[in-house]
Chain A
Amino acid sequence: MADPQMVMYEEEFTQIQGIVDGLVKAANANVVFIIDKNGQLIAAAGDADQIDTTSLASLTAGNIAATGGMAKLLREQEFATQFHEGQNANIHIQLVDNRVILVVIFDKKTSLGLVRLRVKKACEQLSSIFETLADKAGAPGQAPFGEITDDDIDNLFND
């Protein structure tokens, strides 16, 4: 496979959740979530149950992928930051280490400046956690799915 698999463990998840929870408060944001570049939701905080995070995650990943394609055509490595301004809601999208995407949804309660500042700090913390996760996923001896049998897979499809 071209990409290593992403595996999430409790220890790292707790750290990541702590960072997104903290970011909601520090940036005075409505919702913060982290997704991988394929659009899988990793963690969310704030009023996340008010929105369809699964769909948003997939569209954000598509957006980042399209922007990355544009960057490539302009011989840029990437456009790591995107900001969409609406009448009431705004979205700040930040690519972290070209690995995961940090999304902050906010309104007039806060400012873009504050969001950017807090996102920057959160990125530094997230960066090292995802590096640890990547190392763990790539380490030999990890067999997260290995104990599952062919029968288990067949049973899933028995009507």
Chain B
Amino acid sequence: MSFINYLSREINCKIVYYGPGLCGKTANLQYIYGKTNPNARGKMISLATETERTLFFDFLPLALGEIRGFKTRFHLYTVPGQVFYDASRKLILKGVDGVVFVADSQIARMEANLESLENLRTNLAEQGYSLDSVPFVMQYNKRDMPGIAPVDELRQMLNTNGAPDFEAIAPEGTGVFDTLKAVAKLVLTELKKASGG
């Protein structure tokens, strides 16, 4: 649910990074945080365990620039990837405007990708959203790891709807901003459509 403030001329949107445990959701946000002008971002909040596994969420507020005098602000969230944190994942999806699915390219993690994607579909449906209609971008992360599946195969398994997709190596930044831009663009386009534009 975006929030449009006519007075301060701001548009606020919420983007959620989803995916299986250890796929690199937090790494995406950390890279964005590290590379963004401090004036354009707020503090990054990570609610993580002592072993740096996300417990509840990571949060990064980001200003992307102005459209016709409206400041666009995006709130980026990650969900905890581990299976047993499902209750938290559901909460974070509330009011989402766009979703990035971060897939782990390693063949050994294919099952986990599929399970997480199915979980996303179910949890979105509970909030009254459909994965087919919500702004959605796919990222094939960890392209530098050994034992990865070819992109065509990943696409066939995970991106049957043909959403915009990107290869990524999140800690190095490859594909990170492409993914963010793509989802932000889809969110704004959706907002425009919803306004009858």
A residues engaging B (CB < 8 A)? 1-10, 13, 36-40, 42, 52, 54-55, 58-59, 62, 65-66, 68-69, 142-150, 152-157
A155 to B72, CA, bound (A): 13
* From A6, A42, A147, A153, residue with most partner B Cβ within 10 Å: A153
With both chains docked as a complex, state the minimum distance between the C-beta of A126 and any C-beta of chain B, in angstroms: 16
Contact of B197 among A4, A6, A38, A145 (CB under 8 A): A145
Question: B residues 1-43 with Cβ under 8 Å of A?
Answer: 1-7, 11-12, 14, 42-43
- A149 surroundings in chain B (CB, below 8 A): 197
Contact A143 B181 (CB under 8 A): no
Contact B1 A10 (CB under 8 A): no
Given A6-B3, A65-B91: A145 and B11 within 8 A (CB)? Answer: yes
Asked whether any CB of chain A lies closer than 8 Å to the CB of B146, the reply is: no
Contact B192 A145 (CB under 8 A): yes
- B147 surroundings in chain A (CB, below 8 A): none
Please, which residue of chain A has its CB at the minimum distance from the CB of B66?
Answer: A156
Contact of A5 among B2, B43, B61, B88 (CB under 8 A): B2
- A142 surroundings in chain B (CB, below 8 A): 195
Please, which residue of chain B has its CB at the minimum distance from the CB of A140?
Answer: B196
A144 to B70, CA, bound (A): 11
Binary flags per residue of B183-197, CB closer than 8 Å to A gives 1, else 0 = 011001101101111
Contact A157 B181 (CB under 8 A): yes
Contact A148 B197 (CB under 8 A): yes
With both chains docked as a complex, state the minimum distance between the C-beta of B187 and any C-beta of chain A, in angstroms: 10
- A66 surroundings in chain B (CB, below 8 A): 56, 88, 91
Contact of B188 among A37, A65, A156 (CB under 8 A): A156
Top 6 closest pairs, chain A to chain B, by CB? A2-B128, A146-B197, A38-B95, A3-B1, A145-B195, A146-B195
Contact B188 A153 (CB under 8 A): yes
Name the prevailing secondary structure of the B interface residues: mixed
Contact B1 A6 (CB under 8 A): yes
Please, which residue of chain B has its CB at the minimum distance from the CB of A8?
Answer: B5
Knowing that A2-B129, A6-B3, A40-B3 touch, tell me 20 more A-B residue pairs with CB under 8 angstroms. A2-B127, A3-B94, A5-B194, A7-B4, A8-B6, A8-B7, A36-B1, A37-B94, A38-B95, A40-B75, A52-B42, A62-B57, A62-B59, A66-B88, A144-B195, A145-B195, A147-B197, A149-B197, A156-B67, A156-B72
B residues engaging A (CB < 8 A)? 1-7, 11-12, 14, 42-43, 45, 47, 56-57, 59, 61, 64-68, 70, 72, 75, 87-88, 90-92, 94-95, 127-129, 181, 184-185, 188-189, 191-192, 194-197
- A3 surroundings in chain B (CB, below 8 A): 1, 94-95, 128
- B43 surroundings in chain A (CB, below 8 A): 52, 54-55
A54 to B66, CA, bound (A): 19
Contact of A7 among B6, B70, B75 (CB under 8 A): B6
With both chains docked as a complex, state the minimum distance between the C-beta of A101 and any C-beta of chain B, in angstroms: 13
Contact B67 A148 (CB under 8 A): yes
Contact of A1 among B1, B72, B75, B181 (CB under 8 A): B1
Contact B129 A152 (CB under 8 A): no
A-B pairs with beta carbons under 8 Å apart, 6 shown? A1-B1, A6-B4, A37-B94, A37-B95, A69-B87, A156-B66
